[in-house]
Amino acid sequence: MNRTDFDAVVVGSGPNGLAAAIALQQQGLSVLIIEGKAEIGGGLRSAELTLPGFIHDVCSAVHPLAIGSPFFNTLPLQDHGLIYEFPDLAAAHPFDDGTAAVLGSSLEETASLLGDDERAYLKLMKPLVRDWPNIASDVLGPLHFPEHPIAMAKFGLNALTSASFLAKRFKTKAAKGLWAGMAAHSIQPLSNLSTSAIGLVLMAAAHLKGWPIPTGGSKKIANALSSYFISIGGRIETGRFIKSLDELPSSKTIFFDITPKQLLQIAGHKFSSIYKWQLERYRYGMGVFKVDWALDGPIPFTAPQARQAGIVHIGNTIQEITLSEKLSWQGKHAEKPFVLLAQQSLFDSTRAPEGKHTAWAYCHVPNGSVKDMTGAIENQVERFAPGFKERILAKHTMNTAQVEAYNPNYIGGDINGGVIDLGQIFTRPALRSSPYRTSAKGLYLCSSSTPPGGGVHGMCGYHAAKRALKDIFSINI
């Protein structure tokens, strides 16, 4: 290759790398994606992890942020093979007494099932569901003056509080438990400030567009994005793991869909001492231990609502979930961990042979933990679904080291690209006028280590591309 090969090179093909590449290519630039693995997708991959014919999502599974992404929604992904299945219920939260709280598509119906907390739920969620279409782009982006400041301020007043504090709005076990399960997606102790943000966003997403499952596996999202990218002139190279800038073709700008740790290894010598100092102090959060099962039948949850949900939050009361997350944050392992479980094959028949099923689950563990949590996770599922263990045909497990080996962006098993607490929610990965710019001209970070953080939404990549288009190419989008 000569020294003027591309306008932009994107290192990494996760949802953010793909989003950045698409946004650049749409402006008529020449863009190359380089992926280290044999397949594109980052956290968007699916495979036969257990037995032939059983398709498991290796990382992400259910996608409320993908279907609600302000950028992905502008793309004709359905024309490139992306089809979503919608579970009867977005999520269920079973309790030891055989009952369950549920998160459904209807705001009013979800609230009505919370008994004495019906009014409290409506008071919390109705304004957000109403305002979300106007503030989604602001929430899912860098810190800036919002287009709808009053609506954004109302969201922020709740979002920046701790989940433990916001839970005081509720009286019932059902509402408190349901809320705790949602907020625990923040992968932090529920007492931390800003842990309410992800819970609010996920619940609003359920009431607006649902929590869908891609037919055929999460890889179908990546396949649709890459297919569209190629259709508009983009190029992709796989199986090429980049370790230094010298390995890249010449380009006017380079985007990295990686975390600060890898960025320092590849391009640290190009950065200012202050920027390097900030990246070296970037903090990663708790990791995950994951299990996939091939099953002889559906999971026999005692609560019927849990048999209708795409996601089941297994953690019983808010007190139990709070303790589990606190222990993991402190470097300990909970005997009864909070478990996030997906049962895609109930709604997508392509995932398993006829009459058989798959299930996907993980719990939070200390960063870098290699402790086998299979028994603890299976005991938690069995607790709410007696007979579950008898239906296991095969299983596949991944500790944090194996999770990171599979996707190097998951440092120590951290699937969020770095902890999203109050200290890093606005300044990830460093305190700068733009979080996507590095201190070296032409080099940009576009991963989940930039705002708005983890999740399959592509907005980190979109905003990084938007910044570079203005900086380097004098294009405003």
CATH code of residue 110: 3.90.660.50
- Domain-located, residue 411: no
294 and 189 co-located in one domain: yes
234 and 278 co-located in one domain: yes
The answer to whether the beta carbons of residues 234 and 22 sit under 8 Å apart is: yes
Q: What is the pLDDT of residue 426?
A: 87
293 and 356 co-located in one domain: yes
Tell which of 361, 386, 406 closes a domain. 406
- Domain-located, residue 64: yes
197 and 314 co-located in one domain: yes
Tell me the chain's radius of gyration from C-alpha atoms.
21
Q: Please, which residues have CB within 8 angstroms of residue 281's CB and are 6 or more apart in sequence?
A: none
- Domain-located, residue 232: yes
> How many domains in the chain?
2
321 and 425 co-located in one domain: no
219 and 241 co-located in one domain: yes
Tell which of 380, 406, 432 closes a domain. 406
Q: What is the pLDDT of residue 19?
A: 98
Tell which of 353, 383, 406 closes a domain. 406
Q: Residue 326 belongs to what domain range?
A: 85-212+285-406
- Domain-located, residue 323: yes
- Domain-located, residue 251: yes
294 and 379 co-located in one domain: yes
- Domain-located, residue 245: yes
- Domain-located, residue 402: yes
Q: What is the pLDDT of residue 1?
A: 41
**How many CB atoms are located within 10 Å of the residue 5 CB?**
14
118 and 184 co-located in one domain: yes
**How many CB atoms are located within 10 Å of the residue 50 CB?**
20
260 and 347 co-located in one domain: no
Q: How many CA atoms lie within 13 A of 310 on its CB side?
A: 25
- Domain-located, residue 51: yes
Question: Per the confidence metrics, is the pTM higher than 0.75?
Answer: yes
The amino acid that residue 65 corresponds to is L
Q: Angle at Cα 164 formed by Cα 95 and Cα 91, nearest 5°?
A: 40
198 and 294 co-located in one domain: yes
Q: What is the pLDDT of residue 4?
A: 61
The answer to whether the beta carbons of residues 101 and 314 sit under 8 Å apart is: no
164 and 39 co-located in one domain: no
Token digits of residue 336: 């009864």
CATH code of residue 221: 3.50.50.60
304 and 195 co-located in one domain: yes
Give the Cα separation of 430 and 90 in Å (integer): 35
Q: From first to last of the 477 residues of the chain, give the pLDDT tens digit.
A: 444 689 999 999 999 999 999 999 999 999 999 999 999 999 999 999 999 999 999 999 999 999 999 999 999 999 999 999 999 999 999 999 999 999 999 999 999 999 999 999 999 999 999 999 999 999 999 999 999 999 999 999 999 999 999 999 999 999 999 999 999 999 999 999 999 999 999 999 999 999 999 999 999 999 999 999 999 999 999 999 999 999 999 999 999 999 999 999 999 999 999 999 999 999 999 999 999 999 999 999 999 999 999 999 999 999 999 999 999 999 999 999 999 999 999 999 999 999 999 999 999 999 999 999 999 999 999 999 999 999 999 999 999 999 999 999 999 999 999 999 999 998 999 999 999 999 999 999 999 999 999 999 999 999 999 999 999 999 999
